[in-house]
Amino acid sequence: MSKKYQIGWLPGDGVGVEVLEAAKLVLDKLDFNAEYVHGDIGWEFWCKEGDALPQRTIDLLNRVDAAMFGAITSKPMKQAEQELVTELRGKSLIYRSPIVRMRQLFDLYVCLRPCKGYPGNPLNFKENIDLVVFRENTEDLYAGVEFSPVPDELRETLTKLSKPFGAFKDLNGADYAVSCKVNTRKGSARIVRAAFEFAAKHGRKKVTVVHKANVVRAADGLFLEMAKEVAKDYPNIIFDEANVDAIMMWLLKNPFNYDVLVAPNLYGDIVSDLCAQLVGGLGFGCSGNIGDKLGVFEPTHGSAPKYSGMYKVNPIATILSAKQMLEWLGEIELANKVEAATAAVIKEGKVRTYDMGGSNTTLEMGKAIAEKLA
């Protein structure tokens, strides 16, 4: 008897629920021995309980082998909701994205975003694009070290320690905001190593480090320094580097010049959206948030409130995320089956969701892929 996996199942809000339902049609058709455990997450719990990622869901994620996550809505709150949350959470009314919290809480430091153009997809920018983005997932501008208003203490310290800060030193705390970009040696090295390890394992030829070290000298300088250090351990893989602005143009100009890309958190967020668009857009952007103990897999698109309840959006991003989950669990054969079935449905072109120019529903796409499983 094969191992029985415990899979956290976190649909969240809006179309998150729908795309996970479609992915389940595929998973259920596989010989994958798993128990799916529902976890509460999302806007509803922020409004009702003052916490979008309740402690019981954190406990659940501590128990499971891996998790699938849909999407979360965040929107301005109604007056009554505001009051309730203020009461529940005291003064802290800042909504922090639960997925960002989850990445940090569980140290899911690798955000792995493969962007592969499947033949026959009418949305491919060019045929045969096959890029893999490694995005640092816990620090950088996502560290959450932010001040608005800026406390006097911080202003005094910065006035003392930073010459350029002189330009801001006479502002009132409420008239500016500070978000800190925190990159560590450890955090930078481990994401770059993950990218090189992937390249070595999968016969990839080149790793491109994305940065802006010519301007953001401290934080990006350190990222680049660590990248160069780690690259020395992989003499057979080409080390390449590019400024984040320039690479946006070059990726459009010639995506085939690139292979594996690795970037600090925010640049990785941006680069991975561009790369997803090259292979079909939001409906095809899959991702894994991966740590040493847990992997949480999700489509990169949001909850798309305007499509909520319509079963209209493309579930392929989620199905390919499920494929990534199977791969991470070591179920390579099953992962390959899911990918082959997805590729076959895309190639055949009979079942297409609205983004692909068709009129099939989310679940029809899920079903078509499930039926193609060999």
Smallest separation, CB 314 to ligand IPM (Å)? 17
Question: What is the helix (H) or strand (E) element at residue 123, kind and residue range?
Answer: none
| 11-282-204 Cα angle (round to 5) | 105
Residues 238-277 that bind Mg ion (CB under 5 A): 269
Distance between CA atoms of residues 144 and 101, nearest Å: 9
- Return the residues of window 127-166 that contact ligand IPM according to CB under 6 A: none
Establish if 97 lies at the interface with ligand IPM (CB under 6 A): yes
Of the candidate spans 92-100, 224-232, 274-282, 351-359, the one that interacts with ligand IPM by CB under 6 A turns out to be: 92-100
For 211, the 3-state DSSP assignment is strand
Strands (E), the chain: 5-12, 34-38, 66-71, 110-116, 130-136, 146-147, 178-179, 206-211, 238-243, 260-263, 286-290, 295-299
| Residues 271 and 245: beta-carbon distance below 8 Å | no
User: Judged by CB under 6 A, which stretch of 97-105, 180-188, 246-254, 366-374 contacts ligand IPM?
Assistant: 97-105
Closer CB to Mg ion, 269 or 331, in the complex = 269
Select the binding partner of residue 97 from Mg ion, ligand IPM, none (C-beta < 5 to 8 A, by kind).
ligand IPM
240/269 with CB nearer Mg ion: 269
Minimum separation from the CB atom of position 316 to ligand IPM (A): 17
Q: Is 68 in the site for ligand IPM (CB under 6 A)?
A: no
- Subset of residues 186 to 245 that bind ligand IPM, contact rule: CB under 6 A: none
Task: Name 69's bridge partners.
Answer: 10
CB-nearer residue toward ligand IPM: 113 or 155: 113
Which residues in the 351-370 window bind ligand IPM by CB under 6 A? Answer: none
In whole angstroms, the minimum distance from the beta carbon of 164 to ligand IPM comes to 27
Closer CB to ligand IPM, residue 8 or residue 299?
299
Residue 314 contact, options Mg ion, ligand IPM, none, Cβ 5-8 Å cut-off depending on partner type: none
Q: How far is the CB of 121 from Mg ion (least distance, A)?
A: 21
Task: Check residue 99 for interaction with ligand IPM (CB under 6 A).
Answer: yes
The site partner of 100 among Mg ion, ligand IPM, none (C-beta below 5 to 8 Å per kind) is ligand IPM
CA-only gyration radius of the chain, Å: 21
CA dihedral (216, 222, 227, 230) in degrees, to 10, reads 180
Shortest reach from residue 262's CB to Mg ion, in Å: 16
Sole residue written with tokens 């401290």: 218
- Chain residue whose CB lies nearest ligand IPM: 97
364 contacts which partner out of ligand IPM, Mg ion, none, CB within 5 to 8 A by kind?
A: none
Written in H, E and C, the secondary structure of 153-194 is HHHHHHHHHCCHHHHHCCCCHHHCCEECCECCHHHHHHHHHH
CA-nearest of 1, 69, 81 to 33 is 1
State the binding partner of 99 from Mg ion, ligand IPM, none, CB within 5 to 8 A by kind.
ligand IPM
Cα 231 to Cα 236: distance, rounded to the nearest angstrom: 10
Gap between the Cα atoms of 158 and 335, Å rounded: 51
Q: Which residues contact 141 (CB under 8 A, 6 or more apart)?
A: 179, 180, 181, 265, 266
Which residues ranging from 245 to 304 are in contact with ligand IPM (CB under 6 A)? 269, 300, 302
- The distance in angstroms from the start CA to the end CA of the chain is 21
> Segment 299-338, which members bind ligand IPM (CB under 6 A)?
300, 302
CB nearer ligand IPM, residue 99 or residue 143? 99
Tell me which residues touch ligand IPM (CB under 6 A): 97, 99-100, 269, 300, 302
Tell me which residues touch Mg ion (CB under 5 A): 269
